């Protein structure tokens, strides 16, 4: 297939491009570079620099490159920022998805895989989280993604041969094993890269937000899925799309606590990460991890990279090469 990847210069999108190409498909990259990095784009892939909500330019790209399917990653994803600036998230995430859907309809493209999130569930009453649990987000980021899912569901109802899959994934971690691309956000809020930043001196220490949760060691537990596994899930979903709207959780099916991640990082790096216990953050549930049995049962996908130490090691390969992200590039990937 010929595949358009939106948000292609971002963390997940840049990894997805490589997995899609490895699977034998042709890729066109699209990104406005507001938060992505041109250096993350692979050589040889056509690149369209524009906003995903620019209906006419996206439509033109879909037609020019004869696109068969879209993988939609373009979104802002910082929960705290979404609380401070909700309209930014509705404009970029929800309205951007609206523009993409309109462009796809105008171009006659009817296959879409959507990068959704477990944040659409809010604070579930039980663990693990399965797909039929109520979706009740607790922040604008989650709502911006849920509104996008709603639009896709409605388009599939109105256009019987339109195919869409929403992949609701959990904490994404790790990097390409060769260290060529990795995670580079500004500011960085994800635990594993924050730990690695502290280990290379890019920050003084890590803040552990609460150690009095009702978990075995008092710290929050999360489901960490390797970025390449997540990218592979998008490829599998793309290759098995059927008319209608489908949705799947993507995770490893169990969680690791913050202290377990710190201990694993110490094992991988040979020294203890510097950290302090800080106050809880509002809205942080004690546990979040996936029931990912549906995607395995229906699509045959299952996480392959489930050793958290190996995930940290892959992220460390990136940080050793570029301790301050793409700004410290030697050679571009």
Please identify every residue annotated as catalytic: 141
Per-residue 3-state assignment (H helix, E strand, C coil) for the chain: CEEEEECCCCHHHHHHHHHHHHCCCEEEEEECCCCCCHHHCCCCCCEEECCCCCHHHHHHHHHHCCCCEEEECCCCCCHHHHHHCHHHHHHHHHHHHHHHHHHHHHHCCCEEEEEEEHHHHCCCCCCCECCCCCCCCCCHHHHHHHHHHHHHHHHHHHCCCCEEEEEEECEEECCCCCCCCCCCCCCCCCHHHHHHHHHCCCCCCEEEECCCCCCCCCCCEECEEEHHHHHHHHHHHHHCCCCEEEEEEECCCCCEEHHHHHHHHHHHHCCCCCEEEECCCCCCCCEECECCHHHHHHHCCCCCCCCHHHHHHHHHHHHHHCCCHHHHCCCCC
- Output the six-digit token pair for 265: 């990082």
Name the phi and psi angles at 88, rounded to 5. Answer: -60, -40
């Amino acid at each position: 297939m010929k595949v358009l990847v939106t948000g292609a210069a971002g963390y997940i999108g840049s990894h997805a491009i490589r997995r899609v190409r490895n699977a034998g498909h042709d890729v066109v990259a699209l990104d406005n570079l507001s938060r992505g990095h041109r250096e993350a784009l692979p050589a040889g892939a056509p690149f369209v620099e524009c906003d995903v909500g620019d209906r006419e330019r996206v439509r033109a790209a879909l037609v020019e490159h004869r696109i068969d399917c879209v993988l939609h990653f373009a979104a802002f994803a910082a929960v705290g920022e979404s609380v401070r600036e909700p309209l930014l998230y509705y404009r970029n995430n929800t309205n951007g998805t609206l523009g993409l859907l309109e462009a796809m309809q105008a171009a006659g493209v009817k296959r879409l895989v959507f990068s959704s999130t477990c944040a659409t569930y809010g604070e579930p009453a039980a663990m693990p989280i399965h797909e039929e649990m109520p979706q009740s987000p607790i922040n604008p980021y989650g709502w911006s993604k849920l509104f996008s899912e709603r639009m896709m569901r409605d388009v599939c109802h109105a256009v019987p041969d339109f195919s869409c899959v929403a992949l609701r994934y959990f904490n994404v971690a790790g990097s390409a094993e060769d260290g060529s691309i990795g995670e580079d956000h500004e500011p960085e809020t994800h635990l594993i890269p924050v730990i690695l930043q502290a280990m290379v001196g890019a920050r003084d220490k890590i803040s552990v937000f609460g150690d009095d949760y009702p978990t075995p060691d008092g710290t929050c537990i999360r489901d960490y899925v390797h970025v390449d596994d997540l990218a592979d899930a998008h490829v599998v979903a793309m290759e098995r799309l059927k008319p209608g709207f489908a949705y799947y959780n993507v995770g490893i099916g169990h969680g690791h606590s913050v202290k377990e991640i710190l201990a694993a990082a110490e094992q991988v790096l040979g020294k203890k990460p510097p950290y302090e216990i800080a106050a809880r953050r509002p809205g942080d549930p004690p546990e979040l991890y996936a029931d990912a049995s549906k995607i395995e049962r229906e699509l045959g996908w299952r996480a392959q990279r489930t050793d958290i130490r190996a995930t940290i090691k892959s992220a460390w390969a990136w940080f050793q090469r570029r301790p301050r992200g793409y700004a410290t590039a030697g050679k571009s990937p």
